[in-house]
Amino acid sequence: MADEVDLIADLNAEDDDGLGWSTLADASDPERIVPGAMLLAGNRYGQAVVRIVAVDDDGQVHFTILPGPVAKNRHLLGRSVA
């Protein structure tokens, strides 16, 4: 069973600070993309649970990838941390 991705992202792409990044336009529900939110990100090649670090005024989203497989971190999906 495939999980529905909250944020389409290339998990190998990094910004200048070494964080993963995507855009609000690639979110299934942009209102859920807030700092601290734990979401499923990725694409058909790979997925991971991520923690949103920042959302820029121009819609760029920065995140960290949680270590381990999605199955290990699935219980965190939909939660927020400060």
Each residue's pLDDT tens digit, 61-77? 999 999 999 999 999 99
Residue 3 has pLDDT above 80, yes or no: no
3-state secondary structure of 65: strand
Buried b (16+ CB within 10 A) or exposed e, 26-37: bbeeeeebeeeb
Separation CA 31–CA 18 (nearest Å): 24
Write down all domains in the chain, each with its CATH number in brackets: 7-70 (2.40.240)
Residue 41 has pLDDT above 50, yes or no: yes
| pTM attached to this predicted model | 0.91
The pLDDT score that the predictor gives to residue 80 is: 79
For 21-37, write each residue's pLDDT tens digit: 999 999 999 999 999 99
Residue 1 has pLDDT above 50, yes or no: no
Residue 2 has pLDDT above 70, yes or no: no
